[in-house]
Amino acid sequence: MPMESTDFQPVMILGAAKSGTTSIYTWIDQHPDICMTHPKEPYFFYTKEFEYGFDFYVKKYLKRWDGKQRFGEASQRNLYFHHAPERIKAFFPNARFIIILRDPAARAISHYWHNFRRKKEYLSFDRCIEEELKRLDKGVQTYLPPRAELRHRRFTKYRLGYYRSYLETGHYDEHIERYFKLFDKDRFKILLFEDMVQDPASAMADIFRFCELDDSHRVNINFSPENQSRALSRSITFWPHRLRNLIYNWRHYPTLQEKIAGSLQAPVITRETRDWLNNYFAHHNQRLEMLTELDLSPWAAP
CATH number of the domain to which 264 belongs: 3.40.50.300
Count the domains in the chain.
1
Exposure pattern of 45-72 as b/e (b: 16+ CB <10 Å)? bbbeebeeebeebbebbbeebeeeebbb
CA distance 108 to 286: 18
**pLDDT for res 139:** 83
The answer to the question of residue 2 being in a domain is no
* Whole-number Cα distances in Å, 125 to 130, 140, 263, 277: 9, 20, 15, 12
**pLDDT for res 223:** 52
The answer to the question of residue 98 being in a domain is yes
**pLDDT for res 23:** 93
Residues 6 or more apart whose CB falls under 8 angstroms from that of 230 comprise none
SS3 102: coil
The answer to the question of residue 302 being in a domain is no
SS3 190: strand
The answer to the question of residue 87 being in a domain is yes
The answer to the question of residue 1 being in a domain is no
Give me the domain span that covers residue 278: 9-295
Question: pLDDT tens string for the chain (302 positions)?
Answer: 467 888 899 999 999 888 999 999 999 999 999 999 999 999 999 999 999 999 999 999 999 999 888 999 999 999 999 999 999 999 999 999 999 999 999 999 999 998 888 888 888 999 999 999 998 898 877 776 655 454 444 444 444 455 789 999 999 999 999 999 999 999 999 999 999 999 999 999 999 999 999 999 888 887 554 444 343 333 333 334 443 444 444 344 444 334 444 445 667 789 999 999 999 999 999 999 999 999 999 997 66
The answer to the question of residue 14 being in a domain is yes
From first CA to last CA, the distance across the chain in angstroms is: 58
Contact assessment for residue 107 and residue 18, using Cβ atoms and an 8 Å cutoff: yes
- DSSP letter (8 states) at residue 96: E
Q: What angle separates helix 104-117 from helix 271-292, to the nearest 10 degrees?
A: 120
Give just the sign of the alpha carbon dihedral 224, 232, 156, 95. Answer: negative
**pLDDT for res 147:** 52
CA distance 208 to 196: 14
The answer to the question of residue 137 being in a domain is yes
The answer to the question of residue 301 being in a domain is no
**pLDDT for res 32:** 94
